[in-house]
Amino acid sequence: MALLECRKLTKRFGGLVAVNRVDLVVEPQSIHSVIGPNGAGKTTLFNCITGFYRADEGEILFQGEPIHWLSPTHIARKGIARTYQNIRLFGNISVLENVLIGMHIHLKSGLIAPLLNLKSFIEEEKEAYKRAMELLEYLDIAEWAFFKARNLPYGQQRRLEIARALALQPKLLLLDEPTAGMNPKETEETTQLIKRLRDELGITILLIEHDMRVVMNISDVVTVLDYGEKISEGTPDQVRSDPRVIEAYLGHGAASGLKPVASAGTVAKGG
Amino acid sequence: MLERLRYRLRYISGTDIALWIVAALLLTMIVVGSYNILTEGRYTGRQWLDFVISGLAQGSIYALIALGYTMVYGILFMINFAHGEVFMSGPFTAYFLAEYLKQKGMFQSHPLLALLLVMLLSMLVSTVIAVSLERLAYRPLRGAPRLVPLITAIGASFFLQYTFRGLYTPGFKAYPEVEPLKGTWVFFPNSLHLEIERMLIAVFVSSVLLLILLYAFVQFTKTGRAIRAVAEDQQAAALMGVDVDHTISVTFAVGGAAAGAAGVFYALMFRQVNYFMGFFPGLKAFTAAVLGGIGNLPGAMLGGLFLGVFESVGPSLFLEGLGVPAAYQLKDAIAFTMLVLFLIFRPTGILGERLAKRA
């Protein structure tokens, strides 16, 4: 069974159709990339999946269960976490606490418990603290634990955002341009990190990325969006040679000027 | 150097000059007044100490109320002007329990237990009022422009005042006296012989304990972390599985509980309750929150204590030396002058770096 499935998902903003009847199937334990030119509807798609936008039509199934009518909070609790294109950390809070907030749903002590049962509350906080530190170490930012998040260097902030998302213990992690603004070395590290998340932690990853080297390097499946519509889907090699994709990126007619690499018919299209 | 000065001078407006003159005048008044009164020796050192101590007790009450203002501002960026009425509703309702317990003789036999019961009821009522206020009046307006909930808050404030006036009649009601808190305690009887009213000590100590407890709650518990996360970025917090609406309710509840406790302290100190009792403490606490830097929790506590001491010491220190008659009646004027001055010269408050960043 697919982990995440979007069926004929449509989102309109006034007259603009940002996402148009998109079908998307994300298999468990895969790295699935969504690419497309600016304004293709990638981030809108993410916002629909995480519940910030309500899709106008179509449905979203997570582990076979419809989630398109749930609030972002409840979708997060189902096990979907995301990071943002422009980093959105809790800037005035320490790095460690950012991760602890990510653990929010896994901590039990609520409003009254700290007063009634101080001991178990302290135990739980200690345990959470330990796990948060482990996560920070896993992402190699443990040395920054007690800094305010906004004082971190850019690359570390990106890592922290991933750490915070991991604290949710998600089954599906949505990464919105995780390598944006990174130099080649940092990009390479992040690429390895994404691979490790899948291989070591078994997290399924849905990725928006502009850096084609990253996409082609680690993706199992690539979906291409243009003007809100899915124009191509397949393995990196299949997508790379699809004339529609080349057209979408380079402009209409561009594909005809290129050497024929493969016939359009070989590209798996549609859901 | 001269070049720089000339450059700066070019950008000075008439308003700046007027403000400097105001500041200089006030400063002169303060210095001259203080100098006169101190050289005159009208008050002894012990009397000054009394001013400071009663100021601290009063200020700790302001701090507790200010907490509600500042937490709500931190999370919703609105001034909850009905918070003074949240403060009033608790002790006003608890008065009837206090009266009942007094008739049953509990205030005589177990005074502290009775006081605790009164306090719990007061906190409960204030909490319920604060949470319902958010649920019914503010939440439907969450997406509206910021002026809308502000005006709603003023409306809610009047609504609560006159509802409680209708429910409990407009007269003043006298709170029962608590026997163990009457009289004074003497510290260092051999050397200093510091004699302090028990009530002031009790109010100050319990307020400070409550403040510490609330601060620890916000700093170290999961719910407190959620409050801070929502204050920073509601969307990102929702994405972490934090229930934003629930967290906002909790914020109002915490502010309400603090106000309910402050209300009982206030009623014990001044021995009376009334439907209008929330108005001035509410405004003062708002002033305290602005002094400390609104949105900033330690700031509100500091601002409350500072304002309490300032308005207790201020009239005698600054005004009497200038020959102002009945200076003590001008303590409210002093408090609100502070508010205006802070808004002009340092709108971010004492500790308010966060507001500055947002503005």
Contacts of B233 in chain A (CB under 8 A): 88, 90
pLDDT tens-digit map of B309-329: 988 888 888 887 777 777 778
The answer for residues whose C-beta is within 8 angstroms of residue B212's C-beta and 6 or more apart is none
Q: How many domains does chain A have?
A: 2
Do A99 and A211 lie in a common domain? no
Q: How many domains does chain B have?
A: 1
pLDDT tens-digit map of A221-231: 999 888 888 88
Region at B188 (left for phi over 0; alpha for psi -120 to 50; beta for the rest): left
**Strand order, beta sheet including A31-35:** A80-82, A172-176, A204-208, A31-35, A221-226, A229-234
Of A145, A168, A191, which marks where a domain is finished?
A: A168
- Can you give the residue range of the structural domain that contains B76? 49-358
Of A140, A168, A196, which marks where a domain is finished?
A: A168
| B3 domain-assigned | no
Beta strands at A204-208 and A172-176: parallel, antiparallel or unpaired: parallel
Q: Which residue of A has its CA nearest to B353?
A: A92
pLDDT computed for residue B353 by the predictor: 55
| A85 domain-assigned | no
Q: Which residue of A has its CA nearest to B243?
A: A73
Distance CA(A75)–CA(A49), nearest Å, equals 8
Report CB contact under 8 Å: B222, A88.
no
Closest in B229, B241, B354 to A76, CB measured: B241
Do A260 and A189 lie in a common domain? yes
Contacts of A104 in chain B (CB under 8 A): 222, 225-226, 229, 240-242
| A86 domain-assigned | no
**Alpha-carbon gap: A241 to the closest alpha carbon of chain B (Å):** 37
Tell me, yes or no, if A88 comes closer than 8 A to chain B by beta carbon.
Answer: yes
Tell me, yes or no, if A265 comes closer than 8 A to chain B by beta carbon.
Answer: no
**What would the two tokens of residue B189 be?**
């009887």
- Can you give the residue range of the structural domain that contains A131? 91-168
pLDDT tens-digit map of A186-214: 888 889 999 998 999 889 999 898 888 88
pLDDT tens-digit map of B158-194: 999 999 898 888 888 888 888 777 777 777 777 777 7
Closest in A90, A107, A167 to B236, CB measured: A90
Residue B294 is classified by DSSP as T
Phi first, then psi: what are they for B144, rounded to 5°?
A: -75, 160
Do A75 and A176 lie in a common domain? yes
Do A55 and A180 lie in a common domain? yes
Q: What CATH number has the domain bearing residue B105?
A: 1.10.3470
Distance CA(B174)–CA(A253), nearest Å, equals 88
pLDDT tens-digit map of A94-148: 899 999 988 888 887 667 767 777 778 888 888 888 989 998 998 888 888 898 8
Do A206 and A183 lie in a common domain? yes
CB atoms within 10 A of CB A5: 20
Closest in B217, B223, B232 to A93, CB measured: B232
Question: Is residue B93 within 8 Å of residue B315, measured between CB atoms?
Answer: no
CA A114, chain centre distance (Å):
35
The answer for residues whose C-beta is within 8 angstroms of residue A211's C-beta and 6 or more apart is A179, A187
